[in-house]
């Protein structure tokens, strides 16, 4: 059994950014779908109102997953908070328990 000394193993820095592919277009498409769903409910589809509200909870969970993923990818609370327009402390208080 061979062992590798940690001092001899080169440390490979994690790459923080990865290539962003069509995020703006994807977000715009998502916003159009949500607005269309709202218009459908507004035309009298009261049964779909609960589904529309559930999207809010789904979005909150997706944001939490994104923050946890960004933290695992090496982003700091300050970097995440600055993108959201909130302080590092506010970001950490909101999402630290998920990571």
User: With contact defined as beta carbons under 8 Å apart, do 48 and 41 qualify?
Assistant: yes
Average pLDDT over residues 10-36: 77
CA distances from 17 to 14, 45, 48, 75 (A): 9, 43, 39, 9
d(CA 80, CA 87): 9
pLDDT band at 15 (very low <50, low <70, confident <90, very high): low
Average pLDDT over residues 11-34: 77
Whole-number pLDDT of residue 23: 86
d(CA 38, CA 36): 5
Which of 35 and 16 is assigned the larger pLDDT? 35
Domain locations along the chain = 22-98
Note the pTM of the prediction, 2 decimals: 0.70
pLDDT in tens, 27-81: 999 999 999 999 999 999 999 999 999 999 999 999 999 999 999 999 999 999 9
d(CA 64, CA 50): 22
Whole-number pLDDT of residue 52: 93
């Amino acid at each position: 059994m061979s062992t590798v000394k940690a001092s001899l193993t080169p440390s490979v820095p994690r790459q923080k950014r990865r290539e962003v592919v069509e995020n703006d277009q994807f977000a715009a498409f998502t916003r159009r779908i949500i607005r269309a769903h709202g218009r459908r409910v507004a035309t009298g589809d009261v049964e779909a109102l609960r589904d529309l509200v559930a999207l809010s909870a789904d979005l909150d969970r997706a944001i939490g997953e994104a923050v946890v993923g960004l933290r695992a990818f090496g982003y700091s609370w300050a970097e995440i908070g600055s993108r959201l327009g909130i302080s590092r402390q506010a970001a950490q208080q909101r999402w630290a328990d998920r990571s």
